[in-house]
Structures are given as C-alpha cells and as structure tokens.
Amino acid sequence: MKTWLIDDEQPCLDELAWMLEQYPDLKLMGMDTDPVKALASIAKHSPDAVFLDIDMPKIDGLELALRIQEQCSGVIVIFVTAHAQYALDAFKTHPLDFLLKPVRRARLDDCVAHLRKHYALLHPGRTIQYSPTLRCFGVFELICENEVKWGTRRVRELFLYLIGRNGSPASKQELLDALFGGQSDKSTVHNLYMTIYRLKSLLYTLDSERKLIRLTEDNRLNIAPGVCDFTDFMRFGQENAIITGENAAEAAHMLGLCRGPYLEKESFEWTGEVANEIETEYERISLGLGSYYISKGCLQEAEHIIESLLLRNELCEEAHTLLLDLTLRLGNRDAYLRYYEQYARMLKKELRLQPAARYREQYYRLKH
C-alpha cells in the first residue's frame, strides 16, 4: 500500500515515518514539509493513503485534503494533528481516521488495521500480506490474520517465557524450572519437548519464512524489529546509552509503547524480574529524553515526559527534582507548589526525609 506523509515540521515527519516502518505492507513513497509541493508530487505518484497535518502554512490540511481527493480518486486520508479542536471540521473531508499527536503505537496499530480493511474494500482484487504483531505491555495480544490456536496453555506460557528472555537461549533445566516447577521426571521432560514442538508448529503458521519470529535449536526466540513492543523497547535501551537529537524521536516512541504493565493480567512468577528490568530502562530513557528536551528549550515536552515517569514510579527522586527545576524555568508557580508537595509527601512517607533546603526555601517564598 503506497503512502505519503505531509507535515510542516520535519521532526514530526521523521517520527511518523519511523513508526510506519513497523508495518511491512505500507510502502512510504514520499514525504513533504511544503503542502504546495506535496500536492504536485502526489498528483504524479497517486498514493493509496496520505497522512497529513492540519495546521500548516500556505494551505491548511483541510483544504489540502480536498485538493488531493480531487486529483487522486479513492485516496485514503488520515489526519495527524496536535489540535483536537479540528476534529469536527476535519470530518467534512471524510477522512478515514484522526490521530492526535503524539501518536501512540497502540492507536496507530488500530488505525493501520482500519486502513487495511478499507483498502481491501476499495481494491478487492489485491491481497495484503499481514505480519504478526505482539503486544506485551498491558494485556498480552498476538494479532495476526487468523485465530491463534495454542493447543495447550503450556504452549502459550512457553511463548511468553521465551519472549521475556529477550533473545537469550534457554536450557532444558531453565524451561523445566519455569514451566513445570523444576520437575524432571521422564513424563515431564516428554511434555516439555512436545510443548516446544507445538510452539514451533504454531510459529510456522504465523511466519512460514521464519523472518519475523523464529525459535532456534537452543530455544532462543528471535523476533524481528517492529513485531513486538517489549523486544523493540529493550533493544532500543540496549543500543542507546544516551539520548541525543539522533534518537530522541525514537526514544519518545519507545516510551509510548509502554501503555501498561508488562503482561498485565498474567500471574507467572518469572514476570517480576523482567518487569523490573523494564522499569529501570523506562526510568533511564525518560530522564535522558526529559533532559534532552530541556537542553533544547522544549520545556513542555520535558514536563510531559517527567510527569509520565512519576505516574509509573513515584519514588524516582531525580524525576521529582528535575520537574521542580523545570517548573521554575517555566515560571509556573502553582505547578511548583503542587509538585513540591507531592515530592515532600513521598520523601516523608518512604524515607522520613524532607526536600533539599533550596527547594524548601523556594516553596515558602512562592507560598507566601
């Protein structure tokens, strides 16, 4: 499916282009920051779908959508904007969807699923190659073209366990410990081997070419980028020690993947260690991205990132102090007082301490 992106802000274009790379059936034909040039380019290339901003100079997105539809019959329009107030006017152009910035992975997944269905209705003779998608943050989901038949609950548990190992091999004893409570009698070992065989058979039905999800002989589950939110998140953390201009957009996207606790409704004992690793990485990436935004003067973006971190981990003292310093730079008295009181309550409850003198003094100056 041929796509085109239009947004007058290059960072927004870059981030959306990166996110859409996760869907192999979407082929990016081009992107423009100038809506006038975009109109001329789209007329030549006739994309199947256009993702475009609304608030742009020269031609706003609403007018541009109408002009594109005049030139390209059947083109699918999807608006991507930071301004929710445009929603009512936007639907006068009959768009397929309306995405709010910052675009979340889960929301984009829903949009792309809707786009595929609409495209199939418009082009009944064409086939779309669907790739499986794994969501481990929040309630676990395996999204694919056909219904998943696990066979036994052990097959599903083995799959989740190997995902959590994040590409590391698993010995027979480790699998027996995790899935069978350490039992190693002949019957249990046979059960383990049958579980592994059934999982391999299931994975073959999901990806017969073994390019996206592959179980190796040493029980290592290899998952390609763009397939699983957890492995994408951990891969980014391992490959990016610091947050810079080169990876800031990807860092923001990775934080957006964490839309809930890891395997939220699963009760396996081994999930705790993985969840702790995730929270450590989430904190590190959030603090790095927040600091990067502050260095670039993007103070409101930084505030949003740090607030989100504190919602996940109220005990992160560095996040509290970073937020206090940030609100002083923003000149937001009420926010400083509110954040200080939250910080003070946390320190008193958890550590029986109080904020540093400079924060206390600033609080009393603003309070009185």
Let me know if 194 is exposed, middle or buried by CB neighbors in 10 A (0-12, 13-18, 19+): middle
Q: Which of 56-60, 130-134, 286-290, 314-318 has the lowest mean pLDDT?
A: 130-134
End-to-end CA distance of the chain: 61
CA angle 299, 302, 307 (to 5 degrees): 125
Could you tell me the pLDDT band of residue 82, with boundaries at 50, 70 and 90? confident
Query: What value does the mean pLDDT take over residues 329-344?
Result: 92
Whole-number Cα distances in Å, 340 to 254, 315, 336, 350: 28, 14, 6, 15
Residue 2, burial from CB neighbour count under 10 angstroms (0-12, 13-18, 19+): middle
> Residue 88: what pLDDT?
66
pTM value is 0.72
> Top-level CATH class of 2-122?
alpha beta
| Tens digits of residue pLDDT in 95-113 | 889 898 888 888 898 899 8
More confident residue, 265 or 22: 265
Question: In the predicted model, is pLDDT for residue 319 greater than 60?
Answer: yes
pLDDT score of 270: 92
252: amino acid identity, one letter: A
CATH topology of domain 133-223: Arc Repressor Mutant, subunit A (1.10.10)
Q: How far apart are CA 43 and CA 73, in angstroms?
A: 10
Domain boundaries, the chain: 2-122, 133-223, 314-368
pLDDT at position 128: 57
